Chain A
Amino acid sequence: MIETIIEIKNLKTYFPIRSGLLQRTVGQVKAVDGVDLSIKKGEVFGLVGESGSGKTTLARSIIRLVEPTSGQVIFEGTDILKVDRKTLKRMRKDFQIVFQNPFLSLNPRMTVRNIIAEPLRAHTEMSEDEITRRALELMRLVGLMDEQLWKYSVELSGGQAQRVCVARALTLNPSFVVLDEPTSSLDVSVQAQVLNLLKELQKELGLTYLLITHDLGVVEYLANRVAVMYLGRIVEIGNFEEVFRDAAHPYTQALLSAVPNVDDTTPMSSRIILRGSVPSPANPPTGCTFHPRCHKYIGDVCRDVEPLLNPLSGTRKVSCHLYPAK
């Protein structure tokens, strides 16, 4: 039995919509609307979806960078959402995050050394000499050269800056790392380097990743299990083979079909082209939120009844009326 590192139960994150002179709450954006999932120790869990699907909000809610509205996030036996600030700070050593744009997540007025030193100063009693030694150790680990220790982020290339972000995330030996679009702002040739590094580190240090991306190629390359999100909910979840080789949910099918692939010479005419665009999460459609765009719409049930995430086969779960609960 593989150990579960993080378990998410019925997680909801709603943002209020305020309007008028008194800034009264007039509605809610249901960014994350009842998500259940568990991530196992040592796996790469891929979370895919289009912009506005709530994947980034879900990741931030898990590590409490935004406060969820309700639900539970159990990390190694403790509910992260219940602990006080002090305990949270101590726990944060174990879960870290790497963001999409390295230049926006590095302080331009700090040197690489100080960027890596910050978590050490906040969480440990290390001396300045020890900090320098640890910084160099981490830089070598992520493939940076020693002389880059005193560089500022503006002096680094995109790939190097992202390596600094990875080094900073690893300073305190976390067990769980959230990677939020880690290679999306990088050029193709550099993206491959960073992915190789992330994969190597995961193996070497036994890390668990939550990999969020819209790049299905990256997820298919790296992830063990995958969840597909649409309008704040998980519509399909399973191991990567189930989801990528034999997608069950119509949205997953359309998403996979929409990606122009260099290895794939399927003519465009055979692709599934969805109508319209993702509706606003402030005013989601009734029933199955995907029904207005669905190419497999089967009738009123889709419009009226909210489908549940039911087990399909193997480890897979799908939320669609095409697959009624057994």
Chain B
Amino acid sequence: MQDLIVSFHTLDGVVHALDGVTFDVRKGEILGLVGETGCGKSATGLAILKLLPDNSEVVKGQITLEGDDILHKPEDQMVNIRGRKIAMIFQDPASSLNPVFPIGRQLLDVLKIHNEATDENGLRKLAHEKLALVELPDPESVMELYPHELSGGMQQRVIMAIALSGSTMLLIADEPTTALDVTIQAQLLVLLKKLKETLGLSVLLITHNLGVVRELCGRIAIMYAGSIVESATTDRIFKNPLHPYTRGLISSVVTGRLRGTVLHYIPGTVPSLLHPPSGCRFHPRCGYAIEPCKQSRPELLEVEDGHFVACYNMPKEPWWRT
């Protein structure tokens, strides 16, 4: 994705939701896209699949899949990509499944679309394979169940089986474990990692949970108010974050180690994208802001090998999480 700019036309005016989003997901890696509520991370996921609502407008930018431009693909070609090469799963698994059909039927329907030549028996066999892939035991009886008969964790596994029913290369996972309990989240994170390794799957993991990305992702892109402010390997992001927002965000995470200290926080609140601040959108909350920050938006530049930062006045002092 290169410099994607997307606006939403609302009754209140134009919302500048994505303001130059640039990142790449490599083959067989899990990239973490991290940001707070309303920073545009979900809109980014939807933009890749061209699922943005009608009131949106892609102003500028480029999205390519293996060098092939998908942003300007007509809808009749997009259907060969959506769900087949790129699939997406969402936060609340229950709302992604149809409550009135057993899950076997829902899985078979999708498999049928992606495997036109296969007969009913072949499809059933395929369905069993997919359910085994997501480690659901006893596929035959699971397929007879309705969504409400499954726990949240099992529902999310079914969704993943459906998402993998094509020859999926890229899985966009939008907060896939946020609605689930931690012990269930741990199960799914292990599964996601296994799928990446066995299938060579690429994953764009959208989340606000820094703990999850630290554990799962090879690289991380940090998003603030509609643009990527920093991206690098996970190790680098946590050991030497360079953007003031990244530093603030990591410092704000509450853990037991901080007991007895006053917690660090970022002053102010996330700006409205209806009237975003001029220049760097983080400057009103930034302790390092200088004059140019108010004038123009800093570009995302490679400051070290594979470490990109969009900041005019990067903190010079070394960093550690206090």
Contact = CB atoms under 8 A, between A and B. Distances in A.
B22 interface: no
- Across the A-B interface, give the 6 residue pairs with the lowest CB-CB distance, nearest first: A220-B256, A260-B211, A258-B186, A192-B265, A192-B263, A50-B181
A190 B253 CA distance: 10
10 contacts: A159-B269, A188-B36, A189-B249, A189-B265, A192-B263, A244-B256, A255-B183, A262-B238, A262-B250, A268-B193
Q: For the side of the interface on B, what is the size category?
A: 35 or more
B303 interface: no
A66 interface: no
Given A189-B248, A192-B252, A268-B189, A262 B269 contact: no
A180 B124 CA distance: 46
Interface string B189-221: 110010000000000000011111011100000
A265 B211 CA distance: 10
Contact of B190 (A190, A221, A255, A273): A273
A294 to B, nearest CB: 12
A217 B187 contact: no
Given A188-B253, A217-B255, A220-B256, A260 B36 contact: no
Nearest to A191: B254
Interface of A: 50-51, 157, 159, 187-193, 195-196, 214-218, 220-222, 240, 244, 254-255, 257-263, 265, 268, 271, 273-274, 276-278
A268 B215 contact: yes
A197 to B, nearest CB: 10
Contacts of B249: 188-189
Contacts of B257: 263
B265 A214 contact: no
B259 A259 contact: no
Contact of B209 (A218, A244, A260, A273): A260
B259 A221 contact: yes
A188 B208 contact: yes
A214 B181 CA distance: 8
A254 B183 contact: yes
A262 B252 contact: no
A65 B289 CA distance: 49
B211 A221 contact: no
Nearest to B177: A260
